[in-house]
Structures are given as C-alpha cells and as structure tokens.
Amino acid sequence: MSAAEPPPPLPLPLPLSGVLVADFGRVLAAPYATMLLADLGADVIKVEHPAGGDDTRAWGPPHAHGEATYFLSVNRNKRSVALDLREPADRRRAAELARRADVLFENFRPGTLHKYGLGYDEVRAANPGIVYCSITGFGSGPGAALPGYDLLIQAVGGLMSVTGSAPGEPVKAGVALVDVLTGLHAAIGVLVALRHRDATGEGQLVEVDLLRTLLSSLVNQSAGYTLAGRVPGIMGNRHPSIAPYEVFRAADGPLVIAVGNDRQFAALCRGIGAPELADDTRFATNADRVAHVDELAARLGELLAVRTAAEWFERLTPLGVPCGPVNDLAQAFALADRLGLAPRASVEGGDGEVLDLVANPISLSRTPPRYDCRPPRLGEHTGEIADWLDH
C-alpha cells in the first residue's frame, strides 16, 4: 500500500455489541434466538447444568468432531458457564449474572426459576432495566404445567391437521418448525424491548409461547377460520386458495409448480405446449382453477410426465413460471451455492478444527453477522466467567 492510499476501514461494531445476554434457555427455541443475537454482536453467556449441560448435547447421531450436530446448529458465538442452581455459590453467580445482564432468556416451565430467586420479579428488583424473555409451551396461565414439545404443539396447535398426504393421515413438519418460529418471535420481542429501554431506561417482560406462535404462523389458514369460520383440512401438497400450486410427477420424479396468478398460468400453458388451457372456461381465472382443481391437475399431470423435472425447470423458468424439482439438502445447498447465497459459515475452533455451520440468513450491508467462535464445550468458560462474577 502506497503512502498516498488510505488504510482500509476498520470493521464497524456489530449492532448488538455491548449487549450482555444471560441465556438460561435449552434445546431449540431459546438457543436459536440467542444465537441470532450473538451473530449480531451480543455477548451471550450460556448457563448450563454441570451434569450434561443442554439436552441437545446428547441428541445424536449425527455427530461432528465428537459433538451432536443438533447442539452445534444453534449455539455458535456463545460462552458456556456451568452452574448448578441448587448450590448456593452457583446460585449467587447466576443472580449476579442476571443483575449485570441486559437480556435474560429462559424456557423452563413457569415458576421454575422463581424457586432459585431468578424469576422476573426478583431479577427486575435487582436490575430494573432487564429485558426478561420467557418462552413457554402454553403460556404462564392455565396451561403452565403442560409440556411444550414441538411435536405436541404441531398436533394440538393445528399444523398437523393441514399437513399430510390425505385426510386422516396427519404428518409433522420435517424439523421442529414451531420452536424455530418461536425463537424468531422471541428475538423480535427482545429487540423491540431493547429499543424501548434505550428510549426510556425501562426494562420489561417479554413472553412468547409455542401455541400462539403457531396459530399466528398459520396465517391464511388461521385467518380463514377467525374471519370466515372455515376449518381447513389436509389437502396434501395443494393450496386451499391457489391452483395449480402442488407437486406433479415429471418423467424422472416430483416437480413443483407454484402458479400464483393468471399471467403465470398462461405462461405455463404455453411452456407445456397447451396454450388452449388458459382459455378454457374451467381454468380461465384462479377461482375457476381452484373450483376445478382435480380436472386441471389430471390434465397437467399428463403433459408434465413427458419431460424430466430438470428439463421443465430449464424450460419454464425463463417464462416466469415458478417451478422446480424437490431437492434433498445436498442439492438445496448446491443450489444456494450456485446462486451466490453463501449458505455456509465456517467457524474455527481452538484446536485448529473448522466447523462448517449454516450461515445466518440476514444480510446487512454495513454490519453483517460475524462468526467469531464455535459453539462452546460444556463449561468451557466457567473459570473466566466465575472470576468475573465474583469481583
């Protein structure tokens, strides 16, 4: 670099730099939320029981570098302190951590942390500015004692009633989707509460539960019930309000067609060599196509069976028709790579290992997420954190 050239700019502080998060959460919803905050600069201290730590440390296979990939998926950029809340010294350290923290996350059954002097009222008395996020399965009222497992919520919350291949054959989502959605809502709630605290100096309690999160996330299906009294059922891969919007069988496997308007349908008809379908009175508008979805699907199925899914993707996509094959995860990551989306985040460990984690999907032009450290080993930072809390 010549003397005339300015030095490269220093990286900007991350948006949540200086925010201390006491993370008493376990398993998925709370750890996912706190990882998102950690990626954006928050100092997240993960509190774990010395005997085994977070349950997901034992949730394998699969494993990578001797650790469960489930745990590794939601705990990067954190420090781990091992505390047994039944022990007075550890309980005192936990209380001191809560007193110093900007944010506290917990997803115990309601009332559990109160037994250790770490409920919202106790923490607020010592730290009035605390943003205290409590994640439950069914809220803190009459449903407080109910266990909040994702599969259970998918069942009783209605998701499985609209998910499956046919009526009477409910199927869960392939991941703990309600936990992930709840973690996202919890992170949003905490950011809003921090914004309020910055303006007023006042902390608050943020409560998020899995059941209400699912009901909100069912969006059009939920609104169809609350506004029109319609109770939806299982439709397989079809959409209740749009057609064609489902999975068809191409020559070599499944193909998704996701037509959202009449223009796209006309383009689809041209692309598959049947432009007359767009003028058929049964299929002229979306409402017509929904009313005659079985007839439409049968005709499209005949036409789509003559080419492979990849051939249809190459032929229809340039015409503006949303379509594509049903990829497995390896193919999905390959697609994201081809599109330049950088779906992976490589994180170096202290012993030279490199973990290939999934990148934070939020892109920020000035303060993008960083991946500074791998998910911690159980109690890895207990010494340094205990010493800090004791002084």
Strand partners, 245: 258
Contact indicator for 254, 308 with CB cutoff of 8 Å: no
- In a 3-state reduction of DSSP, which class is residue 324? strand
Per DSSP, 342 falls in state: -
Chain position carrying tokens 């998020």: 208
Chain position carrying tokens 């942390």: 113
Contact indicator for 104, 130 with CB cutoff of 8 Å: yes
Q: Which two tokens stand for residue 234?
A: 């299982």
User: Pick the catalytic residue: 179, 279, 288, 387?
Assistant: 179
Chain-centroid distance of CA 86 in Å reads: 32
Of residues 30, 3, 13, 4, the one with CA closest to residue 208: 30
Residue type, 44: V
Catalytic-residue membership of 179: yes
Strands (E), the chain: 20-24, 43-48, 63-64, 67-68, 78-82, 103-106, 131-136, 204-209, 245-249, 254-258, 323-325, 344-348, 354-358
CA atoms within 13 A on the CB side of 148: 29
Q: Between 210-217 and 219-228, two packed helices, what is the crossing angle to 10 degrees?
A: 80
Rounded CA-CA distance 115/290 in Å is: 55
Of residues 252, 254, 272, the one with CA closest to residue 319: 272
Per DSSP, 256 falls in state: E
Contact indicator for 348, 76 with CB cutoff of 8 Å: no
Catalytic residues: 179
